[in-house]
Structure 1
Amino acid sequence: MKNISSKISVFEKVGYSLGDLAANLVFQTLVTYLAYFYTDIYGLKAEDASLITLSVGLVAGFGFNPLIGALADRTLSKWGKFRPWILFTAIPLGIAALLAFSTPDFDYKGKVIYAAITYSILLLLYAANNLPYSALSGVITGDMGERNSISSYRFVAVMFAQFFVQVFMLPIILSVGNGDKAAGIEVVMTWLAVIGTLMLLITFFTTKERVVPTEAQKSDLKSDLKDLFKNKPWLIMLSVTTLVFITLAMKGGAYVYYFNNYVDEKALASFIAPITVFFNSIGMNFFGEDVKSAGFGLFNAGGIIMMIIGITFSKNLADKYGKRDVFMASLFVSTLFILMFMFYPPESVSMMFLSQILHGFFYGIGTPLLWAMIADVADYSEWKNKRRATAIIFSAMMVGLKVGLSIGSALVAWVISQYGYISIESGVHMTQPESVAEGAKLLVSVFPAIPFLLACGLLAFYSINKKMEVQIEHDLAERRNK
């Protein structure tokens, strides 16, 4: 194994982090708006939206990701294994994101087919871009402390993308479309495609692969898969990743329904009035006249700002106590604040906002650690088997991400339909039945809390604690130096 534990410059860390900012302009849009886009903008029935997100997502998870992982691990180029994938998928990914959120004037059957095809292409290109990007973090350096630092930079960038999408995107869509959501989202996605492409190109040009397998470590796909399924930490992290993204997709996609159908509009207007007045007074009228979209944006803003603050504590805590213990504690405490939403009546807007910011802070502490732990699993595999297969390990985690995203997004559309939700196709200005409010409340409280708690339980069996992290890093460094 060539090269060693290296200190990474701030310039390279920032350049690397921009790749995740770009990817998350797409990913956060999927998490936050996919179900809403299909039901309230594109005009699909909630049941059909649920079927498309689940079926296409499962195909992408179990089909696209292992294929890309196997190919990326066997890529040989003057740029390395993973950086070429970032370069050559940057432009196609932006185009696919724009097409997936376009609203061509087809009949209903044509709309369903178009949605399924464009969503499939988007997930394929997302896998081809983001999987090698994620694997790149495992070969930029072999220093686990530096990996913790890189992950912190990376997830601050993720939070900026999330902040834009969840806070400003809906008001901007309404503004640039002059109330026409379909026209507005096409304009916004066009700009996101251009900006995201430029950021991915910056990532390609500013990063370097330093951990390079030697000839002696070469293996075939059969050996890689055999190593994978004997790797207990990998099996646990696959399950944890799936559960985490079920929760993120479920509550992230449900908040727009929660604000539109559960939160009391008068109480919300009263609560956010001082904030919007302040922004208006300094010429920053981001939120327009729509009280619920403004409340939705500010609610997300509070959580994301506190998440960014939480991230700043992540590296020091992980260095001291180990990634596993910090991540497990972060998930557990943040789940308690998700559960609190079950007990708030529609008028308790201040308590909703307080719970959101506390959830954001505690979840933020663990946010960077998931992908850093997966890089550690790649080291664990090399440590045990004397062969390194970084991308296929990350591809398996991307399976968990895609499956979690698909199940969580599908559950949003399916659960809301079970509570009687009427999509735009049935009438643009239809009043929703009272049962929808109860469904929306459950989708941001009890239902998303369950996967997080299951993930906490699984992490108790994850063997790479602080002591083992130090041992693996020491042994691998010794081997590489030899």
Structure 2
Amino acid sequence: MPPSPTRCSPFCTLWVNIPYCALGGVITNDPTQRISLQSWRFVLATAGGMLSTVLMMPLVKLIGGENKALGFQGGIAALSVVAFLMLAFCFFTTKERVEAPATHTSMREDLRDIWHNDQWRIVGLLTILNILAVCVRGGAMMYYVTWILGKPGVFVAFLTTYCVGNLIGSALAKPLTDWKCKVSVFWWTNALLAVISVAMFFVPMHATIAMFVFIFVIGVLHQLVTPIQWVMMV
């Protein structure tokens, strides 16, 4: 049986995402430049995500007309081609300036070293929790707007508000870490994010404006810590 796109997609994402994310560690050794690099990376990535979100439904209408299934297939295909071209441009034009020392250890030895490094374990756990939060929040957002708020028509506006918060949070990472210690900014931002995320459960379901405010602030705080976390990995 030939491989389906559903089966291949996670592997293709993994093959692209690992070297793409690792680029930030081999372009410069300067911690200040690295946080600036990651901050700009997430600002532009969020802007691209927001643009694709806003343009998706018009693209579906343009390609498929009344046939939404065809429109979504064509829209995703068009965005996939654009993403491929941009990733190819990134890989072929980015210069690695930090040469990693040659190693002769096996994967088993590498995994053992990682397991014995308590800092790696902490960062690994934080990364899992971060990605889990992104997946759950992103996957539940449409259902939340449709069934909790009861206003499916505002989904694009709700998601765009969250993306704008992400963009601002990414931009704030560099100035805040210049002002305060990265670890302190990371800790206090995550603590505040947890408090606000829990508080959102107690907002009345009819308070649409309050929900928009909460999702905006959550977007700012979540994306503020993401560039810091990637620098911590490096």
TM-score with structure 1 length normalisation?
0.45
Alignment of 1:336-415 (within 5 A): 336-375=195-234
Larger Rg over CA atoms:
1
Which structure 2 residue ranges, 5 or more long, are not aligned? none
The CA distance in 2 between the partners of 1:165 and 1:325, in whole Å, is 34
The alignment status of 1:258 with 2:141, answered yes or no, reads no
> Structure 1 residues 126 and 261 mapped into 2: Cα distance closer, same or farther (>3 Å)?
same
The CA distance in 1 between the partners of 2:128 and 2:222, in whole Å, is 16
- Residue in 1 aligned with 2:167? 308
Which of 75, 79, 104 aligns to 1:188? It is: 75
- Residue in 1 aligned with 2:134? 248
**Deviation at 1:338?**
2.3
The CA distance in 1 between the partners of 2:107 and 2:150, in whole Å, is 55
- Contact kept, 8 Å, 2:170 with 2:224, in 1: the verdict is yes
The CA distance in 2 between the partners of 1:126 and 1:229, in whole Å, is 25
**Deviation at 1:200?**
0.9
- Residue in 2 aligned with 1:124? 11
- Contact kept, 8 Å, 1:334 with 1:359, in 2: the verdict is yes
**Deviation at 1:150?**
0.7
The CA distance in 1 between the partners of 2:57 and 2:128, in whole Å, is 27
Q: For residues 89-140 of structure 1, give each alpha carbon's deviation from its aligned partner in whole angstroms, at most 9, with x where no partner exists.
A: xxxxxxxxxxxxxxxxxxxxxxxx99x8422211111111110111222111
Which structure 1 residue ranges, 5 or more long, are not aligned? 1-112, 266-291, 376-482
> Structure 1 residues 172 and 263 mapped into 2: Cα distance closer, same or farther (>3 Å)?
farther
- Residue in 2 aligned with 1:327? 186
The alignment status of 1:219 with 2:105, answered yes or no, reads yes
The CA distance in 1 between the partners of 2:137 and 2:66, in whole Å, is 26
Q: Judging by fraction of residues, say which structure has more helix.
A: 2
State the percentage of identical aligned residues: 29
Bigger mean CA deviation after superposition, 236-245 or 323-332:
323-332
The CA distance in 2 between the partners of 1:226 and 1:320, in whole Å, is 36
Instruction: Name the SS of the counterpart of 1:210 in structure 2.
Output: coil
Give the counterpart letter for 2:107 in structure 1: L
- Contact kept, 8 Å, 2:40 with 2:171, in 1: the verdict is no
Q: For residues 371-415 of structure 1, give each alpha carbon's deviation from its aligned partner in whole angstroms, at most 9, with x where no partner exists.
A: 11111xxxxxxxxxxxxxxxxxxxxxxxxxxxxxxxxxxxxxxxx
Give the counterpart letter for 1:323 in structure 2: K
CA RMSD of superposed structures (Å): 2.3
The CA distance in 1 between the partners of 2:142 and 2:150, in whole Å, is 13
**Deviation at 1:153?**
1.1
Alignment of 1:452-463 (within 5 A): none
- Residue in 2 aligned with 1:231? 117
Bigger mean CA deviation after superposition, 190-199 or 310-319:
310-319
> Structure 1 residues 358 and 256 mapped into 2: Cα distance closer, same or farther (>3 Å)?
same
TM-score with structure 2 length normalisation?
0.89
> Structure 1 residues 203 and 233 mapped into 2: Cα distance closer, same or farther (>3 Å)?
same
**Deviation at 1:353?**
0.8
